[in-house]
Structure 1
């Protein structure tokens, strides 16, 4: 997967903080400090994600969005701005931005939103995802097991998709929570809350496949095992 990110931000201190964090998290962050520089960089190559400030020295970052989408509509645009008025959010989203994050923000939240957007865009262009006798169609969020459509709740679906994306990897309850529940951190430390949802998914999969795919790795988390 392409891990390049274009960051258009004129606050050099924030720019360095974000870039260092993203680079250390497995991304490759390219930086620009103005609309002109950002457009020049974007015009040369495809970036799956653009992080876009609004108050830039040569204009309003909102003016960048139609340019970005006209060249690569698949690019996910996340606005990062101190402007927190509703009209700014609405204007940005109406112009084609995919997300809006108000400064100051936690780097962990930025990371989660970037990954959520990458997953969404990746699966939007995928025909189907296969694991053993389970088939997921991301275009309509449909799950088939042995050719038969099986109903899953939104949370069960998102958990199943995340497990399949990371099959054979051990996933901590924190990572599962972050990718499925996002900002609802009030439940983050509630192990029973996580276990309940994992257990429901596990039982539904076993009911329709006869297999116990989701294994508990004691002291670490859970993983999806290939049989």
Structure 2
């Protein structure tokens, strides 16, 4: 059964910061929805169930902590990270008392934000496993699913093992013998190594690059293959 990538809502009134956060979250394998104010957020939450919200406190119209408190009063239990310039002890306490699960102050480090996002998603049970990325490919290891951008690509078990091996060793030349052992394992004792691996890679190519425009794989004559 197909599942969706975890979605994160960001409410941030500075557009450049919003775009920066969205870019890095998407790069880390998440789906995002950005808002420049709290307007329309409740309507969105009536239709969607994001895994996490990142909320600024200095927002037009409604202050961020007040908005989260309002959501909590209506039963929304979505985890919230406050990301704000409000950095006094009393403001931090206010953020947690309003229903925040974590609190970061600006200026902030993107890597730290991503780590905090992952920590909260793991605690909430939303993030149960590892994701690895290469270019526009996102591989969900625990669910054994592949996405190109946000589009689910159905793979066989062998195809999943094959692309996982390539992504974990991207930009490295993988010898055919290595691929045979990693992907086919004990079942590979008696098969035509060159032909079987070539056919498997060609089938995978047709699924992830049907037009041949992205050139994920490079054949290295006499050695094996490389994912670029």
- TM-score in terms of structure 2 length: 0.52
Of the three residues 4, 7, 18, the one matched with 1:4 is: 7
Task: State whether residues 46 and 72 of structure 1, in contact with CA within 8 Å, keep that contact through their aligned partners in structure 2.
Answer: no
Tell me the residue number matched to 1:83. 86
Misfit runs of 4+, over 6 Å: none
> Do structure 1's residue 72 and structure 2's residue 76 form an aligned pair?
yes
Tell me the residue number matched to 1:103. 106
SS of structure 2 residue aligned to 1:59:
coil
Residues 131-170 of structure 1 correspond to what in structure 2 (within 5 A)? 165=129
Tell me the residue number matched to 1:23. 26
SS of structure 2 residue aligned to 1:36:
coil
Q: Deviations over 1:2-23 (max 9, x none)?
A: 5100000010000001101111
Tell me the residue number matched to 2:123. 120
Aligned residues: 127
Of the three residues 73, 93, 96, the one matched with 2:96 is: 93
- TM-score in terms of structure 1 length: 0.52
Tell me the residue number matched to 1:43. 46
Rounded to whole Å, the distance in 2 between the matches of 1:66 and 1:83 is 17
Gaps of 5+ in 1: 124-161, 170-227
SS of structure 1 residue aligned to 2:41:
helix
Rounded to whole Å, the distance in 2 between the matches of 1:23 and 1:2 is 10
Task: State whether residues 8 and 35 of structure 1, in contact with CA within 8 Å, keep that contact through their aligned partners in structure 2.
Answer: yes
